[in-house]
A and B are shown apart, each in its own frame.
Chain A
Amino acid sequence: MGAQILGVLFDGFAYGMLLFLLSVGLSVTLGLMNFINLAHGAFAMIGGYVTVTLMNYQGWPFLASLPIAFLAAALVSVVLERTLFRRLYKSDPLQQVLFTIGLVFVFSAIAAYLFTTEIQPVRVPEYLRGSFEAMGYNFGVYRIFLIVVALLITAFLVIGLEYTRFGAMVRAAVDNQRMASGLGINVETVFAVTFALGSGLAGLGGALSIEIVGLDPSFAFHYLVYMLIVVAVGGLGSIRGSFVAASLLGIGDVAGKYYVPELGAFLIYVLMIGILFFVPLGLFGKRA
């Protein structure tokens, strides 16, 4: 029984870390520009398909494909941001939502055209497969790998945001965009760089998630909902909030599917609505 609970916690936490990687960029960019970017899931999908292409068609090793997945998603996102998204920062949220949903439709259709609607197989290397037993439970090596990667990136993000000049500029812009630009911070550039970084992390998350959840053209839409839950519950622009919300969502989802499968995703949505009802800005949110 104890091992079972430990197992659910472990799997849930690993899943939560995946969700954290996928959504942290969205949280920061939403906090910066208030731009509701529903295409974030599509950037994650790009990362996934880049990894699939490199591994299955070019014979690249798994680990070498990950940085490329990051770069590809970052590049596509920054090009879109500079050419299209920036026109919509002043539009009302519905225009932003519909524009980026349109983008998701287009990306999903392109993915279906290029890769068919089949689930893409990926073989992770031997040393990341299998599991080992401790305290009566089998810990999957890949999930440990996921957790380590996510924790490293979290540490990197926190240090980058708290102790660097650029991090200070991002924090200033999130807190008060007008004041920040009044002080001579180029908010647009800060935003473009943050946007590329956040989308790159989504791309990395997309590549890492293939082994756990599979990859098909509906990925962008399906996981978008989870990303938005993490962002809304955690609070905009808060790394800590995203981390906590993603862990809760991951553990809650795995535990729910394990113990009360008949409720399905019901529990998650009720919890989300409950939290947002009492704290509309999210658990760690500063402003809407």
Chain B
Amino acid sequence: MSTTNDAPPQAVATTAQAATPHAFLAAQTRWSVFEVAFWLATLLPFFLFPTYLSLASQIAITALFAVSLDLILGYAGIISLGHAVYFGVGAYTAGIISKYGWGEPITGLLISAAVAAAVGYVTSFLIVRVQHLALLMITLGLAFIAVELANTNAWLTGGADGLQGVDTWNVLGIWRFDLWGRTAYGYSLAVLFILFIVARRMVHSPFGLALRGIRENPVRMPAIGAPNQRRLQKVFVISAAIAGVAGALLTQTTNFASLEVLGFQRSADVAIMLILGGTGRLYGAIVGAIIFMVARDQLADMNPQYWYFWIGLLLMAVVLFLPGGVLGGLARLVPARWRKL
């Protein structure tokens, strides 16, 4: 946006209007009371449910993964049925470097993010070329190929047995990963919060606005001088990196990675959570992950066949009656003057 400040002659006349987009973006960036309350509430599990901290850390990790999908799906309109590829790449990267002697968690996250971003960059050339059904099929195909590769290269990934012997060191050299998941939850929550702020800043930047433009009308954006391809690739790579961090967190907090981290099931589940919570509002990803994971934990005794019966019904109901997800439905209940507190 700095380019507009150079003020070429014709822009001077429209300074008043040029200030409006800044004001618009600035107003969106402001933190509301709801948001502060929400993040304070994420600390409650430490006091209220100390026996459920492992679950809470799983939820934070899944929420981060859902946020990464929301960036490409909710903001840029790229539908992916194979986002678990990047989650899985991050998970395996963190596991493999730890297995071969480097178990420091924070650098582990960074390395995993870099590797996932690299894979994301290579595959983004395929993704931005196609739309609609072809896009679904390419993301699906990539997901199957990733599982196949991880399965056949058992010397590296452990194949169907999973990756054994992962050993994660203390966080910052101080906090040991304990049996109750205190460190795991604190660590996952901190990473989720930091990356959430990054994502929040990004979607409220001019870049984020351009992405929403592409989502709304992919033909018009290039016509008004904002080419799509580089922007879509950029957000895809960022999203892949965040998904990779989420995957790395899972490996580090559980000291294990299996083929399931890459599977279609995970890609489908995260899309379900996002729709459930509401796309294109970041918090929808987190709310959806909380609802989905808590429900699955509570109904864990149920035969998986029947669990998917209810998930199926829920999905159909959400699409038909609550197209904006839970948060979209709630937002309609809140009077407009309260929304920007």
Contact = CB atoms under 8 A, between A and B. Distances in A.
A93 B145 contact: no
A36 interface: yes
B279 to A, nearest CB: 8
B293 interface: no
A104 B312 contact: yes
Interface residues of A, number: 47
B316 A272 contact: no
B83 to A, nearest CB: 12
B323 A91 contact: yes
B142 interface: yes
Interface of A: 30, 34, 36, 84, 87-88, 91-95, 97-99, 101-106, 108-110, 112-113, 117, 217, 225, 228-229, 231-232, 236, 262, 264-266, 269-270, 272-273, 276-277, 280-282, 288
A113 B309 CA distance: 10
Nearest to B126: A277
A280 B131 contact: yes
Q: Looking at A95, A105, A232, which has the most chain B CB atoms within 10 Å of its CB?
A: A105
A217 B305 contact: yes
A276 B320 contact: no
Contacts of A34: 132
Given A102-B316, A229-B137, A280 B148 contact: no
B312 A109 contact: yes
Given A105-B309, A106-B309, A93 B136 contact: yes
A251 B96 CA distance: 38
B207 interface: no
Interface in B112-134: 126, 129-134
Contacts of A117: 305
A211 B56 CA distance: 47
Contacts of B279: 94
Contacts, number: 128
A228 B272 contact: no
28 contacts: A34-B132, A88-B319, A91-B323, A94-B79, A94-B275, A95-B319, A97-B81, A97-B271, A102-B312, A102-B313, A102-B314, A103-B312, A104-B312, A105-B311, A105-B312, A106-B316, A109-B312, A112-B305, A225-B144, A228-B137, A229-B137, A232-B133, A264-B152, A265-B148, A269-B145, A270-B145, A277-B126, A288-B133
Nearest to B149: A266
B130 A280 contact: yes
Given A105-B311, A277-B129, 5 more contacts: A93-B133, A99-B320, A101-B312, A262-B152, A276-B130
Contacts of B137: 228-229, 232, 272, 276
Given A113-B305, A228-B137, A288-B134, A265 B316 contact: no
B165 interface: no
A214 to B, nearest CB: 18
B214 interface: no
Contact of A280 (B79, B129, B152, B308): B129
Nearest to B276: A98
B306 interface: yes
A87 B320 contact: yes
A272 B141 contact: yes
Contact of B311 (A102, A217, A270): A102
B315 A288 contact: no
Nearest to A278: B129
Nearest to A229: B137
A155 B152 CA distance: 43
A106 B312 contact: yes
Interface string B285-328: 00000000000000000000110110111111011100100000
Nearest to A233: B137
Q: Looking at A101, A102, A217, which has the most chain B CB atoms within 10 Å of its CB?
A: A102
A93 B132 CA distance: 7
B138 interface: yes
B140 interface: yes
A270 B144 CA distance: 10
Nearest to B314: A102
A112 B131 CA distance: 35
Contacts of A91: 319, 323
A44 to B, nearest CB: 17
A225 B137 CA distance: 8
Given A106-B309, A109-B309, A93 B138 contact: no
Contacts of B323: 91, 95
Interface string B73-88: 1000101010000000
B134 A282 contact: yes
B154 interface: no
Given A93-B79, A232-B134, A101 B268 contact: yes
B136 A105 contact: no
B71 to A, nearest CB: 14
Given A98-B275, A102-B313, A273-B126, A228 B319 contact: no
Given A101-B268, A106-B309, A266 B148 contact: yes
Nearest to B317: A102
B319 A266 contact: no
Given A84-B320, A101-B315, A276 B138 contact: yes
Contacts of A281: 134
A262 B272 CA distance: 33
B305 to A, nearest CB: 4
A102 B134 CA distance: 21
What 9 A-B pairs are tightest by C-beta distance, nearest first? Answer: A105-B312, A102-B315, A109-B309, A106-B312, A102-B312, A269-B141, A102-B316, A99-B319, A280-B130
